[in-house]
Structure 1
Amino acid sequence: MMDRRRLLMSVAAGGALAAVGPVRALAHGAAAQTASADFNALMNRIAQEMLLTDPESLTMLGMDRGPMAEARFKLSDRSQAKVEADKVKFVAAMKDMAAIDRNALPAKEQIYHDSLTFFGETVMEGYAFPYGGGMYPSPYTISQLGGSYQQIPDFLDSQHRIEAADDAEAYLSRLSDFARSLDDERERMQIDYAAGAVPPDFVIDRTLTQMGAITGTAVADSVMSQSIARRTAEKNIPGDWAARAQTILTREVYPAIQRQADALKAVRAGATHDGGVWRLPDGEAYYRYGLKNYTTSSMTPDEVHQMGLDQVAEISARADGLLKAQGLTQGTVGQRIAALGKDPRFVYPNTDEAKEELLKELNVQMAAMQARMPDYFGRLPKSPCDIRRVPKAIEAGAPGGYYQAPALDGSRPGAYYINLRDTAEWPKWTLPTLTYHEAVPGHHFQIALQMEQPDTPLLMKVMGFSAYSEGWGLYSEQLADEIGAYENDPFGQIGYMQSLMFRAARLVVDSGLHHKRWSREQGIRYMVDTLGDQESSIATEVERYCVWPGQASSYKVGHTTWVKLREDAKRRLGPRFDIKGFHDTGLALGGVPLTVLERTMNAWTPV
């Protein structure tokens, strides 16, 4: 899973700095020149209004230096007033874009126009609902996966640069601003609740557990005080930075987190145990909106559910053959995989030392795959990729793995995070596939290459769609198998097959929860029985689907499209088919809806 929430929080702003040096195809005629000029001016206006006023996005992109250095001293404005102001600006921008003649634009800009149009249409569909309020379908401002309490500590530690005393002062300023962000979100929580969007009880409980892990840590031991102490010491920056951070935590941040926790506790007694959004006002329409946003398709909930059932059956049959080849013949596929997951040969001890060994092994796997990539890609990322643990404070509710994009200026590498709360959730035979999905050639290749794409407006460096990117992640798993990553690792190949089943089962459970009104427990039982995974791991997965309706379906919908496009290209081109050309063409688009991907790849392989 790719951590796109922050990267894309300002994509409604277009992120579109077309004025920052895009090279455009020549437009012929006055009408074409006017359309192109108007479109680029509009994208630049959106970016000026929204992206360039968002401090966290500027830091994330490596743009908080020079003329924009003051951004380092503030966090993003999370107030309801800012949400409403951004809506007004965005609706006006989309109205202006509708007046631009898309057909008069050069081919490259038509791709930009089509992608931004789809994004704009789906975002504005979300505006019709009185809860959520963000750019992505999630009805809850605060959950175990959303909110500044969950995002800012790691943001300060891993993205806010400290090179000099001024940077450390900026860190402390942001730490103080953290309390304001928390209080602004608390007000938005109350708006959600008044609109009928109270999280289910288990989401509240998981969120409170994570908040308690933060406030239950002594301020001297908090990552937020230790980070500035460690990094100022490394740079020999004099000052009592840790003590100042601890004072801010004690007086401002911890009380603000507690105020959020108290607001959650106040609604806990009346919260339902039903996890699907069907129970919310106009909830069935909200789920259809979620599916459209995340899958960039017109699939109905019933079609998604049936696709999942069909693919689970097909992949399970393939897994059955692989298991039998290893002498595992008794029980269902899920039962045999469950037994394999408990085999002591494949389980790391749940100790810090063993977790360090696990991370080292992941680096070995990533390096081995990286060495194969020149045979399959014409362009390789310049940015390296780090492998890191999910921060302990949020690991209880965080996903199993996710990717963080590098900075545009190269000041920060890409990062693949793995959740090591319990090593029993990661039998050794599951790890290679996760690495290929999150790092090489998965999200790191796709995102880093997108951000390093030359002669491209910033819009296409940061725009993203879940079906495209998560579909690529699954396609990368398949590619790794096809090029022989598991030739001497039959259990690793079983892990790959389980991963495919896992994503197919997500289609079933996502639509089951939100459309067929399954309970949380029904979703967990289906996945445990089907996949043989640890129930603790599956529980956090199913709870994730409850707060991001539709997102879990994007993986297999996108993967199915990527594979179909490749097979269509092979059929059309025959011996002229070039795998490097296919990969480079598809990834050069950046993040686009599947309809745009299909149109572009079909044009690359004309009949």
Structure 2
Amino acid sequence: MVDRRSVLMGAGALMGSAALGGGAHAVTPVSPQAQLTTTFDAIFKELVANSPMTATGLGLDKGDLAPLKAKLDPSTPAERARGQAFLEKSIAAIKKVDREKLTGMDRINYDTVLWDYSNTLSGYKAFDFGTPGYPAPYVLTQLTGSYQSLPDFLDTQHSVETKADADAYMSRLSGYATLLDQETANFKADVAKGVIAPDFALQKAITQLKGQRDTKAADSVLVTSITRRTKEKAIAGDWQTAATKAYETEVVAALDRQIAALEAVLPTAKHDAGVWHIPGGETYYAFGVKTNTSTDMTPDEIHKIGLEKVKEINAEIDSLMRPLGLTQGTTGERLKAMAKDPKFVYPNTDAGKQKLLDDLNAQIKVIEAKIPDYFGVRAKTPVTVRRVPVATELGAPGGYYWPPTLDGSRPGAYYINLRDTAEVPSWTLPTLTYHEAVPGHHMQISLQMENKNLPMLRQISGFNAYIEGWALYSEEVAANDMGMYATDPYGRIGYLEAALFRACRLVVDTGMHHKRWSREQAMAFMATNMGDPNETEIERYAVWPGQALGYMVGKIKWLELRAKMQAKQGAKFDIKTFHDTGLLAGAVPLAVLEQVYKDKGLI
């Protein structure tokens, strides 16, 4: 998955708490095409200028934008109002362009940005809680809140090359405490509206917050990061003492206040997993489904597809297991037995975890060598494999991807959760790598960010169903086109297990949020079909309603478009053309993706 906090998740995530607004968008150029370009450029500049963290994430916090490096995106009611005003103004500016006079990618770009901003604005107007414009209803959970992302952001994205960079880091360290307090205030305001996360989400958030608060300054990444990097760059000053003081007097106190706020609410929190239990919850889930699938599919339709896919994939797994002598019990029980087989489990030690990371890097090199046979375009930006930070691994997913800077100066990062190596048996890892790195997230997102034929606004935007659908489709390309499991039957079972996992998601996400399943019902469904209740994943779906739907819904669309192109072209079908066409269009809503292929006469 792409980390939802990254910039490549559409307008809602881009603008979550940014100070957006101010200024006219553009003067009217001589043609609709030029007018659109000027409008997009103005929107992009305003967006970045008012979102310091986006500027840093993209590597743009330099030159005229250097002052942004000392700031964080605030999370206040005033900024929320400014964000809505920005969207309204941006949409009005886009609509001034005559769409009927646009052709090719200009029209695709127009439709993409307008869909994104219009959908995000609908979220702003309909819901006055959670992440503005994006379906994340709870300010603080095991997966949401700055405590989850800021320490790693400062360590891995805030570069330190000069004294000015170090001073900016210190400013942001103090700003972290301010942001924590702003989110605590938002949390309390939402609680007053009846928007309270499930008890299990709050409990894990409290556990993680306490873990961060109780970490000694000498061991906190917030202190060690600036200490290490200023030393490496020979930047004069006692940075360790300064960071320790800020951490102990400001950050720890803010964490204390946030913990106290969550603990005060915990006794009243419900155990209901579905978003239906909050005011307007059913409408909120509809927003989540639309945002995350970029379709008008209903929860019932998606639930049915999920059940059908679960049955279909289970049968295929069974057919692979039997020749290997795996015949006893359900497929779920057999998957569980495979997962516990010691020959597939890395030692749960520092050395074992490093070996696992080394093996992932080796897998990436192997598949990169095969890419030219299936893709005409290649990403230039490298990818690194990193461990999910220990401080947040308890509630984090098994793996996720963080995009590079626009100029490639910071590579893309494939994060894997190593809280317990038993959770990631070796036969599951190749598929995870193909999903998160190559030809999945890293390749797709890097190509989009490197594509100078796209407006900057499009280079950094994203749609869940396109992005996650591509990554899941990539797993199938690796398996069935590239032959990555030709001599690895257990690895192929891992590929099918991953597909089964995404099919189960369709069932349990709609089950909890639409059919009012309990957390335990969802876990039981997972246990029956996967051999594992997947507690952490179920709790993820509970706080990110609809996000898990984009994977399989998106993959189905990619496969559908490929089948249409094959049917039309027959023996002339070129897989490179199919892949390049979809990738070079950048992330778009699924209906727009289909239009891309139609415009080129491929379907």
SS of residue in 2 equivalent to 1:269: helix
Tell me which residue corresponds to 2:3: 3
RMSD over aligned Cα atoms: 1.6
Tell me which residue corresponds to 1:487: 486
Residue 578 of structure 1, aligned match among 567, 574, 577: 574
Is 1:57 equivalent to 2:27 in the alignment? no
Tell me which residue corresponds to 1:530: 529
Tell me which residue corresponds to 1:540: 536
Residue 584 of structure 2, aligned match among 543, 568, 588: 588
How much does 1:513 deviate?
0.4
Q: Deviations over 1:25-59 (max 9, x none)?
A: xxxxxx99443344333323323333222111111
Aligned residue runs from structure 1 range 181-260, under 5 A: 181-260=179-258
Moved more, 449-458 or 352-361: 449-458
Tell me which residue corresponds to 1:134: 132
How much does 1:210 deviate?
0.9
Aligned residue runs from structure 1 range 39-50, under 5 A: 39-50=36-47
- Native 8 Å contact 1:226 1:242 kept in 2: yes
Tell me which residue corresponds to 2:516: 517
Amino acid corresponding to residue 61 of structure 1 in structure 2 = L
Matches of 1:197 and 1:366, distance apart in 2: 43
- Native 8 Å contact 1:370 1:440 kept in 2: yes
Amino acid corresponding to residue 239 of structure 2 in structure 1 = W
SS of residue in 1 equivalent to 2:377: coil
Is 1:169 equivalent to 2:167 in the alignment? yes
Tell me which residue corresponds to 1:332: 330
- Native 8 Å contact 2:6 2:402 kept in 1: no
SS of residue in 1 equivalent to 2:132: coil
Residue 365 of structure 2, aligned match among 355, 364, 367: 367
Tell me which residue corresponds to 1:303: 301
Structure-2 change in CA distance of 1:332 and 1:605 (3 Å)? farther
Tell me which residue corresponds to 1:114: 111
How much does 1:4 deviate?
4.0
Tell me which residue corresponds to 1:90: 87
How much does 1:64 deviate?
0.8
- Native 8 Å contact 1:220 1:226 kept in 2: yes
Moved more, 102-111 or 582-591: 102-111
Amino acid corresponding to residue 527 of structure 1 in structure 2 = M
Aligned residue runs from structure 1 range 455-466, under 5 A: 455-466=453-464
Q: Deviations over 1:318-355 (max 9, x none)?
A: 00101112110110000011011111111112111100
Structure-2 change in CA distance of 1:83 and 1:53 (3 Å)? same
Moved more, 461-470 or 109-118: 109-118
Tell me which residue corresponds to 2:424: 426
SS of residue in 1 equivalent to 2:517: coil
SS of residue in 2 equivalent to 1:416: strand
Matches of 1:195 and 1:13, distance apart in 2: 23
Tell me which residue corresponds to 1:100: 97
Aligned residue runs from structure 1 range 382-461, under 5 A: 382-461=380-459
Structure-2 change in CA distance of 1:13 and 1:349 (3 Å)? closer
Matches of 2:116 and 2:577, distance apart in 1: 27
- Native 8 Å contact 1:437 1:477 kept in 2: yes
- Native 8 Å contact 2:113 2:458 kept in 1: no
Q: Deviations over 1:143-174 (max 9, x none)?
A: 11111111100000000001122211111111
Amino acid corresponding to residue 88 of structure 1 in structure 2 = A
Moved more, 144-153 or 117-126: 117-126
Amino acid corresponding to residue 325 of structure 1 in structure 2 = P
Residue 263 of structure 1, aligned match among 261, 264, 269: 261
- Native 8 Å contact 1:32 1:105 kept in 2: no
SS of residue in 2 equivalent to 1:135: coil
Tell me which residue corresponds to 2:505: 506
- Native 8 Å contact 1:347 1:424 kept in 2: yes
Structure-2 change in CA distance of 1:274 and 1:14 (3 Å)? closer
Amino acid corresponding to residue 502 of structure 1 in structure 2 = F
Matches of 2:471 and 2:525, distance apart in 1: 24
Equivalent residues, number: 589
Tell me which residue corresponds to 2:599: 603
Amino acid corresponding to residue 46 of structure 2 in structure 1 = E
Tell me which residue corresponds to 2:470: 472
**Unpaired runs of at least 5, structure 2:** 16-27
Tell me which residue corresponds to 2:146: 148
Tell me which residue corresponds to 1:496: 495
Amino acid corresponding to residue 547 of structure 2 in structure 1 = Q
SS of residue in 2 equivalent to 1:407: coil
TM-score, normalized by length of structure 2? 0.95
How much does 1:11 deviate?
3.2
Tell me which stretches of 4 or more aligned residues in structure 1 moved more than 6 Å. none
SS of residue in 1 equivalent to 2:370: helix
Structure-2 change in CA distance of 1:563 and 1:172 (3 Å)? same
How much does 1:132 deviate?
1.5
Matches of 2:581 and 2:272, distance apart in 1: 44
How much does 1:203 deviate?
0.5
Matches of 2:127 and 2:314, distance apart in 1: 39
Moved more, 63-72 or 423-432: 63-72
Matches of 1:109 and 1:13, distance apart in 2: 24
SS of residue in 2 equivalent to 1:137: coil
Moved more, 312-321 or 567-576: 567-576
Residue 565 of structure 1, aligned match among 561, 566, 579: 561
- Native 8 Å contact 2:378 2:443 kept in 1: yes
Matches of 1:563 and 1:9, distance apart in 2: 22
- Native 8 Å contact 1:131 1:139 kept in 2: yes
How much does 1:242 deviate?
1.3
- Native 8 Å contact 2:230 2:236 kept in 1: yes
Q: Deviations over 1:271-311 (max 9, x none)?
A: 00001011111111111110000000111010010010000
How much does 1:439 deviate?
0.2
Matches of 1:323 and 1:465, distance apart in 2: 36
- Native 8 Å contact 1:383 1:413 kept in 2: yes
How much does 1:477 deviate?
0.4
Matches of 1:494 and 1:458, distance apart in 2: 40
Structure-2 change in CA distance of 1:459 and 1:243 (3 Å)? same
Matches of 1:267 and 1:208, distance apart in 2: 11
How much does 1:187 deviate?
1.5
TM-score, normalized by length of structure 1? 0.95
Structure-2 change in CA distance of 1:185 and 1:264 (3 Å)? same
Amino acid corresponding to residue 492 of structure 2 in structure 1 = Q
Amino acid corresponding to residue 311 of structure 1 in structure 2 = K
Amino acid corresponding to residue 522 of structure 2 in structure 1 = G
How much does 1:10 deviate?
7.6
- Native 8 Å contact 2:458 2:586 kept in 1: yes
- Native 8 Å contact 1:13 1:49 kept in 2: no
How much does 1:454 deviate?
2.3
How much does 1:118 deviate?
1.3
- Native 8 Å contact 1:115 1:593 kept in 2: yes
Tell me which residue corresponds to 2:18: none
Matches of 1:475 and 1:109, distance apart in 2: 27
Matches of 1:10 and 1:167, distance apart in 2: 29
Tell me which residue corresponds to 1:21: none
Matches of 1:9 and 1:497, distance apart in 2: 27
**Unpaired runs of at least 5, structure 1:** 16-30
- Native 8 Å contact 1:402 1:418 kept in 2: yes
SS of residue in 1 equivalent to 2:88: helix
- Native 8 Å contact 2:12 2:134 kept in 1: no
Matches of 2:401 and 2:108, distance apart in 1: 25
